Structure 1
Amino acid sequence: MKKNLSILAINMYYGGAQRVISMLLKHMVKDYNVHLVIFTEHINFEIPEEVELKILFPESNERNTVFNKLKNVFRAAKAYDEFIKEKQIDVSLSFLALPNIINGIVRAKNKNLRTVISERCFPSIMYKANKSSQLLSKFVIPKYYNKNDALFSNSININEDLRDNFKVNIPMSVIYNPINSNSTKYIDSASIAKTAQLKLINVGNIYDAKNQKLIIKALSQLPKNSFYYTQAGTGVLEESLKALSKSCGLDNQITFLGNTTQVEEHLLQQDCFVLSSKTEGFPNVVLEALSCGLPVISTNCKTGPLELLNDNERIDIPKGGFAEAKYGLLIRENDAIGLASALDFFLKHPEKRKQYSKLGYKRSKDYALPVIYKQIKTLLEE
């Protein structure tokens, strides 16, 4: 007899956690009676028809309203607790901080319920900018995370941060994000040749942590018409990024795609992917780029890039330069000169792009969806 599994998330709109949930659901429905519980009705990812969908607050018209105000957390916890009891849920799996807190609150009221939470960001960096958020997180995270049965993140560094700086003491493991390895679309490395213009892409929400302005600054140092930059995603800094590109005289060499569900198709049309972030949880899109055979340049930010591109082995990166890691190029955080140098290197050395295309594609197989799902299922069943 199948167990009843509930997955608690903010929404199914855009984001790395939502993409992971969508992928996992396809396997979970074979082993569980799956319920997907989201707080607001924002759905962009595919949900299998076997999944029973529950929207706790369908009347909410503002995205993430429930999550932007702490006073609504207990209202959400009450609604979720009622749902858990009504559906006789055996296991509750949550993604992201506030769903994790709610899972902890509900776990305290349901002794036979197993709760597993997943942290997707580096808390010390995520809450650093806002003093009140920093103080609140130091109280809330240990109080409610520790009520759960187990936690998994997608980075060794995240677990260390939770243990050392937030006093999380429940069993913790690292399970990396999966990639759908069934895709037959990838760049044929043999077709990579010297080109007069390097086509690069960044995919992500446009806000400070993603730091796309670093790409504009780097490109402003390169010869005009030596590149073409595609930006997928939207965000609070989109207009300022467009203004910066215009002030640098680059607006004719940049396309802003907005949000798109056709990420893979756009990746396949490029020469390299650039991750410019100041911080990450686990950069899904880097893994997607690798799985397409697309060479990658990434900042060595916390967390994810070093684990993905160099097996988490430390590497010396010169200021204003780059390092040739095992599966891609790494630059220092916020180093525009270093990024410009790495882009110029890929433009002038197609043989290196061929090498990293092959290595990256092979590397992505370590994160195949069946492999990752097996690890998560084991954790849910403990």
Structure 2
Amino acid sequence: MNGIRPKLLIFINTLQSGGAERVVSLLLEHLRGDFEIHLALYTNIVDYAIPADVKMLDLKQPLKQNKLLRFLKMPYQSYKIYSYCKKNGIKISVAFLYRPCYVNALMKSLWGYKGKVIMCERTHQTTMQQSHSAIYRMFSKFMVMFSYKRADLVLANSYAMQTDLVENFKIKTPVKVIYNPIDLGFIRTHTDEEPAYTFDRNSFYFINVGGFRKEKNHLLLLQAFFILKNLPCKLLVVGGGIMEEELKQKAADFGIKDKVIFCGWENNPFKYVSRADCFVLSSDVEGFPNVLIEALACGKAVISTDCSSGPRELLAPATDLHYKAINSYEIGEYGILTPVNDVTALAGAMKKMYEDTALRKRFEEKAKSRAEQFDVNEIKEYFHAAFTAL
């Protein structure tokens, strides 16, 4: 590069706790030696460290906003991004999550941005849209198709997501798959940190890490755990979000509040995961769940709903990616998959993992080697190639 680093804008809603946000934080740290990185945030909420040499643009938008008002403000936001890129000579703009992708598309359509636009899809759009009204689905589908037609490259973080965009949204822009990276070095050096909670040696611990959002379906997890309430088990829930009080009330209503421990949001959840016995993901929809890879990196046996997309590719990669677990749980190569939103199947998988020590040990023995394939030092090269190839 002759000593001159290409200028790169990375645009995301916030750096609040979440999978896409963690990926961005890793890219900021691991690509800043090769790029002059600028970070644009829709809302200035930051839970992850930002390197001192990363320049930042704050669009100063409220985290919660009327959807129509948010949409009407997008042309102006796109102009602010365009002006910033023009002023700073930025030729590559990378958007994570749908709102920044829409704004980037408008930057190109309305203001004639001449640089390259890369859009990073982080969820399975068809599945995500199913829970909304018909009008919302039509509008959302239009916006996805409108935006991605204006991209020079789309990056998906699973093959199921790539297939969804090509087949269901007719995306003609090149769609490449780059899996989410994890920072194995950070995980390995932080598992020994003492957690605030004292583990009971006589209890078996299930654990979940994630934001308290509807699509994460923590209610399903609480319902499944309720079925196991007479076993010597406890459930750790690490995370936070708008549904926190509702979930705590549900645990109380189910009569399990003494066995469900809400640990709050943690920048280092690994000190909890490494001390638990089994990680459980109960989501209705994902992109490619970082928390599953991170749990494997901690050497843990894992259970996940077979949601779109990511868990099957991660836990049963040799199977047909179009297949879904139905009626009962499925034992994969690296973990157990359960049907989406199936309380009985999830409880059955959790009971199986509790009772079958040999199976759990087999998963634990494979876990770390599986996680190594997603280390940031490996994955960052794919991002670097995607950003520079344009």
Q: Scaled by the length of structure 1, what TM-score is found? A: 0.92
Q: Please tell me whether residue 181 in structure 1 is matched to residue 184 in structure 2.
A: yes
Cα shift readout 1:312-367 (whole Å, capped 9, x = no counterpart)? 61377462x32210101111111212122222222222222221112111100111
Specify the SS of the correspondent of 1:86: helix
Specify the SS of the correspondent of 2:275: coil
Q: Please tell me whether residue 87 in structure 1 is matched to residue 93 in structure 2.
A: no
Alpha-carbon separation, structure 2, partners of 1:344 and 1:97: 38
Partner of residue 311 from structure 1, selected from 310, 314, 317:
317
Identical-pair percentage: 29
1:331 is aligned to: 338
Say whether the 8 Å CA contact 1:186–1:268 is kept in structure 2.
no
Say whether the 8 Å CA contact 1:206–1:236 is kept in structure 2.
yes
1:284 is aligned to: 290
Specify the SS of the correspondent of 2:77: helix
1:191 is aligned to: none
Alpha-carbon separation, structure 2, partners of 1:38 and 1:206: 21
User: Which segment is superposed worse, 248-257 or 196-205?
Assistant: 196-205
Q: Please tell me whether residue 236 in structure 1 is matched to residue 262 in structure 2.
A: no
Aligned residues: 372
Specify the SS of the correspondent of 2:164: helix
Q: Please tell me whether residue 254 in structure 1 is matched to residue 254 in structure 2.
A: no
2:197 is aligned to: none
Shift of 1:234: 2.2
1:200 is aligned to: 206
Matches within 5 A, 1:82-121: 82-108=83-109, 109-110=111-112, 112-121=114-123
Cα shift readout 1:232-273 (whole Å, capped 9, x = no counterpart)? 222333333222222221111011122221211111121011
Specify the SS of the correspondent of 1:43: coil
Counterpart code for 1:335 = D
Counterpart code for 2:63 = R
Matches within 5 A, 1:289-300: 289-300=295-306
Partner of residue 52 from structure 2, selected from 21, 42, 49:
49
Alpha-carbon separation, structure 1, partners of 2:81 and 2:30: 24
Say whether the 8 Å CA contact 1:293–1:357 is kept in structure 2.
yes
Cα shift readout 1:75-134 (whole Å, capped 9, x = no counterpart)? 110100100100000211110111112222223444541111100011112222233321
Say whether the 8 Å CA contact 2:282–2:304 is kept in structure 1.
yes
Describe the shift of the 1:186–1:297 C-alpha distance in structure 2 as closer, same or farther (beyond 3 A).
farther
Counterpart code for 1:94 = A
Q: Scaled by the length of structure 2, what TM-score is found? A: 0.90
When the two chains are superposed, the root-mean-square deviation of aligned CA atoms in Å is: 2.1
Q: Please tell me whether residue 171 in structure 1 is matched to residue 174 in structure 2.
A: yes
Say whether the 8 Å CA contact 2:107–2:113 is kept in structure 1.
no
Say whether the 8 Å CA contact 1:291–1:361 is kept in structure 2.
yes
Shift of 1:186: 8.8
Cα shift readout 1:13-59 (whole Å, capped 9, x = no counterpart)? 121111000001112111011111112211111111111111122xx
Describe the shift of the 1:5–1:187 C-alpha distance in structure 2 as closer, same or farther (beyond 3 A).
closer
2:274 is aligned to: 268
Say whether the 8 Å CA contact 1:6–1:37 is kept in structure 2.
yes
Specify the SS of the correspondent of 1:182: helix
2:371 is aligned to: 364
Q: Please tell me whether residue 18 in structure 1 is matched to residue 25 in structure 2.
A: no
1:77 is aligned to: 78
Partner of residue 215 from structure 2, selected from 209, 212, 223:
209
Partner of residue 4 from structure 1, selected from 3, 7, 13:
7
Describe the shift of the 1:336–1:185 C-alpha distance in structure 2 as closer, same or farther (beyond 3 A).
farther
Shift of 1:157: 1.6
Describe the shift of the 1:317–1:121 C-alpha distance in structure 2 as closer, same or farther (beyond 3 A).
closer
Alpha-carbon separation, structure 1, partners of 2:27 and 2:324: 36
Say whether the 8 Å CA contact 2:284–2:305 is kept in structure 1.
yes
Matches within 5 A, 1:88-167: 88-108=89-109, 109-110=111-112, 112-128=114-130, 129-167=132-170
Specify the SS of the correspondent of 2:258: helix
User: Which segment is superposed worse, 76-85 or 307-316?
Assistant: 307-316
Say whether the 8 Å CA contact 2:154–2:176 is kept in structure 1.
yes
Alpha-carbon separation, structure 2, partners of 1:114 and 1:274: 39
Unaligned runs of 5+ in 1: 189-194
User: Which segment is superposed worse, 245-254 or 157-166?
Assistant: 157-166
Alpha-carbon separation, structure 1, partners of 2:101 and 2:304: 29
User: Which segment is superposed worse, 46-55 or 230-239?
Assistant: 230-239
Unaligned runs of 5+ in 2: 193-200
